[in-house]
């Protein structure tokens, strides 16, 4: 009956839970409380499960194994997502375009990035808003400049695990390259290979809802959408001119600053 009642309600945001323990964990988001700390790097977590998953980064433990290939994962969700590669099953379909996904989380991210301007995650240090918690975490590193991932072969350190893996491949040839079966081009990240394969195969799953033009990535759709609007959100700090795209205002700003006599093309008038 607790499952149906949702009787435990958060006083901060109004979100409801069926069990008090779930509300207790949720309240840590608002209070910033992180009682579970990693003994290796000092990183803190709101739940014990988060600490357990994080600790596998240091131990290298990968208990979830693929039954088809000799590949293992540190999280069950990663194994589930990987298994859909073998089955080809993509049951989660976007109702606004033709894109389909193997897990519901990817569909939700697709709708947020491509079809919505909502940014629910805010940085407590500068107030900047982001569309995903991952983007927020990457942004927070710019404030803390914490480099938790160190190379075992040299003195280089990195703020993100993905950057360390790319460094190990490129500098020390440690790890596995992701190779395109069409042109044999190598990539340090599987996500980059997936985008590359779309270009090689001519697959464009992301569709503009206004003109039905197709693109290989969600980023390209976001770059394209301003062409259907008169809104110009980027302003030149030298002359006050407005532009639709960030790249256009940067290119203009360099020329405009020099024309107005600034020796530094990125200087703005006081």
CB atoms within 10 A of CB 168: 19
Q: What is the pLDDT of residues 32-80, one digit of tens each?
A: 888 889 888 888 888 888 888 888 888 888 888 888 777 888 888 788 7
- Non-local CB neighbours of 54 within 8 Å, separated by 6+ positions: 38, 43, 45
Do 183 and 199 fall into the same domain?
yes
Give residue-wise pLDDT tens across range 88-122: 777 888 887 777 777 777 787 777 777 776 777 88
Residue 89 lies inside a defined structural domain of this protein: no
Domain span at 205: 178-229
* CATH code (residue 207): 3.30.160.60
**Residue 190 included in any domain:** yes
Q: Are 57 and 148 within 8 A, CB to CB? A: no
In a domain, residue 247? The reply is yes
Angle made by CA atoms 15, 21, 25, in degrees to the nearest 5:
65
Number of domains within the chain: 2
Of 65, 69, 63, 39, the residue nearest 51 (C-alpha): 39
> pTM of the full predicted structure?
0.42
Distance CA 220, CA 103 (A): 22
**Can you tell me which residue has the tokens 């940014």?**
119
**Same-domain check for residues 198 and 222:** yes
């Amino acid at each position: 009956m607790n499952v149906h009642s949702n009787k435990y309600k958060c006083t901060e945001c109004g979100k409801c839970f069926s069990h008090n323990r779930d509300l207790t964990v949720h309240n840590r988001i608002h209070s910033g409380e992180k009682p579970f700390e990693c003994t290796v790097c000092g990183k803190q977590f709101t739940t014990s499960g988060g600490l357990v998953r994080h600790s596998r980064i240091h131990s290298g433990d990968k208990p979830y194994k693929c039954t088809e290939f000799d590949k293992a994962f540190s999280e069950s969700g990663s194994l589930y997502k990987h298994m859909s590669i073998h089955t080809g099953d993509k049951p989660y379909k976007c109702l606004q375009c033709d894109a389909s996904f193997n897990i519901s989380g990817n569909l939700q991210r697709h709708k947020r990035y491509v079809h919505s301007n909502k940014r629910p995650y805010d940085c407590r240090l500068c107030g900047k808003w982001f569309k995903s918690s991952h983007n927020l975490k990457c942004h927070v590193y710019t404030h803390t400049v914490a480099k938790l991932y160190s190379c075992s072969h040299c003195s280089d350190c990195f703020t993100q695990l993905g950057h360390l893996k790319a460094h190990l491949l490129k500098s020390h040839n440690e790890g596995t390259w992701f190779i395109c079966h069409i042109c044999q081009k190598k990539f340090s990240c599987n996500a980059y290979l997936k985008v590359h394969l779309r270009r090689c195969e001519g697959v464009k799953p992301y569709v503009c809802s206004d003109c039905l033009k197709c693109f290989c990535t969600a980023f390209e759709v976001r770059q394209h959408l301003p062409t259907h609007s008169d809104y110009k959100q980027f302003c030149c700090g030298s002359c006050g001119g407005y532009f639709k795209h960030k790249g256009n205002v940067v290119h203009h700003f360099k020329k405009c600053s020099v024309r107005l006599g600034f020796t530094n093309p990125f200087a703005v008038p006081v």
